[in-house]
Amino acid sequence: MAFILCIESATTNCSVAIAQNGKLLHLVEDATQGYSHGEQLHAFIEKVLLEAGRSWKQIDAIAVSKGPGSYTGLRIGVSAAKGLCYALDLPLIALPTLDIMVDAVDQKVERIVPMLDARRMEVYAGIYDSDKNQLRTTQAEILEDESFSAALAEGTVLFCGSGAEKWSAICDHPNARFQPKLLPSAQHMCALAQISFDHKVFEDLAYFEPYYLKDFKSFK
């Protein structure tokens, strides 16, 4: 039986969960106060352990959202996760933020495009199929009229995440669907973290850094 502490801090949602064998055991999160992760994260970690009735001795690994996302949010989350892993001699699991978002999607569509706002008309985005397999790697992209034209030609596409709101203002394709309020949450890390744990996909604590992804390009 594996208990994994999951930390998600890539966006305004400060989120911590405990997973038991890939299932959510308990969740503590707050997306209402902007980027207050520095004040909230460690308190949330202690709270989720207390409310779940678990001690540090019962935790088998720590999973963290690795990015892309907010520079400050990612730095705070990864620093906390690495520090705890060092102190407690636990393995570190790093999960792509967009994979976590896709795990939350419950609509049946041909393509899923998670996108995070990166200021102006820029987003961090990836493309996934209906089975949530990644078709295009995460890229920094400047939104233009013809963006994602190939995906939209395949059928219904769900654009989700904080970048979807500004994309919806310029995209009027009939195959486009939008879910801008979907934020990455630690509750959607549980199953993904268990897969990594089972396959012993762990990070090197000495060298692991967040995936910031800064270079922007325009893609069709």
Find out whether 197 and 60 touch, Cβ atoms under 8 Å.
yes
- Residues of the chain with pLDDT below 70 are 33-35, 214-220
pLDDT tens digits, one per residue of 6-20: 999 999 999 999 999
Sequence-ordered alpha helix ranges (H) in 89-148: 97-103
| Cα four-point dihedral sign 34, 39, 44, 45 | positive
Amino acid at 141: E
Domains assigned to the chain: 3-98+183-214 (3.30.420.40), 106-179 (3.30.420.40)
How far is Cα 147 from Cα 167, in angstroms, rounded to an integer? Answer: 9
Tally Cβ neighbours within 10 Å of residue 33.
Answer: 11
Q: What is the pLDDT of residue 220?
A: 43
Q: What is the pLDDT of residue 31?
A: 84
Q: What is the pLDDT of residue 216?
A: 42
> Residues near 191 by Cβ (< 8 Å), separated by ≥ 6?
19, 22, 23, 103
pLDDT tens digits, one per residue of 188-217: 999 999 999 999 999 999 999 999 886 444
Burial environment of residue 89 by CB neighbours within 10 A (0 to 12, 13 to 18, 19 or more): exposed
Residue 28, SS3 per DSSP:
strand
Q: What is the pLDDT of residue 36?
A: 76
As a whole number of Å, the CA-based R_g of the chain is: 17
Closest residue by Cα to residue 92 from 201, 13, 214, 182: 201
Sequence-ordered alpha helix ranges (H) in 28-148: 37-52, 71-88, 97-103
